[in-house]
Amino acid sequence: MTRAPTPPRSGVRRVRVIGLGSPLGDDRVGWEVVDGLLPHLGPGAAPPGIEIEVLALDRPGADLGRHLADADLVVLVDALVDGGPAGRVRRLTATEVAAASAAAGASTHGFGVAEALRLAAALDPDGPSIWLVGIGIAGGRATPEASLSTEVAAAVGIACRMVVDTIRAPPTSDRGPPPAP
């Protein structure tokens, strides 16, 4: 189901950017992207008529749904293990997230993003438009290393620009529940 971005509920468009990850090597890339966004989207930096909240969450699982509430647009930022090259940046709809999750076979977050989006859509079918900006990581890079790999670190700026572009001109969104894998 294709749908235009959710209209603002109070005259102000409420946007939430959520960096997902863990402290494990390349899996922390969602956190690195939201850190890079703070100067551009943090308090006082939002364009007129847009209220932006930026969060970093550690493997939220099913709890992700409560962070989607009361927003008009949600942009999730997370690592993707989808068979593509490390450092590739993609913007995905909820349906595409489910397909990428099924292709990978498992999320690094247990109850993964696709499952959380399906649950949120079932509980709130009129919820926000949701996009995921995903950065490709190699399957074995979710290890206790403190730094990002070279390829993933190089993608942080590209992902930041994609998040800002999504907020400024949200594309048409697929907000229906992702298909079960």
Q: Which domains does the chain have, with CATH numbers?
A: 2-6+14-174 (3.40.50.1450)
Reply yes or no on whether the pLDDT at 144 is more than 50: yes
**pLDDT reported for residue 130:** 84
**pLDDT reported for residue 29:** 93
**pLDDT tens, 31-81?**
999 999 988 886 777 778 889 999 998 876 667 778 888 889 989 999 888
Reply yes or no on whether the pLDDT at 148 is more than 70: yes
User: Residue 109: which of 118, 99, 120, 101 has the closest Cα?
Assistant: 101
Give the tokens for residue 54.
């930026």
User: Residue 137: which of 71, 84, 67 has the closest Cα?
Assistant: 84
**pLDDT reported for residue 2:** 32
- Section 74-93 average pLDDT: 88
Distance CA(176)–CA(122), nearest Å, equals 9
Distance CA(145)–CA(113), nearest Å, equals 23
* 61 three-state secondary structure: helix
User: Percent of the chain having pLDDT more than 70?
Assistant: 63
pTM: 0.78
**Between the CA of residue 82 and those of 52, 71, 97, 101, 102, what are the distances in Å?**
29, 28, 10, 7, 9
Q: Please give the residue that has the higher pLDDT: either 95 or 74.
A: 74
Q: Return the bridge partners of 174, or none.
A: 2
Reply yes or no on whether the pLDDT at 141 is more than 60: no
**pLDDT tens, 154-173?**
999 999 999 998 988 766 54
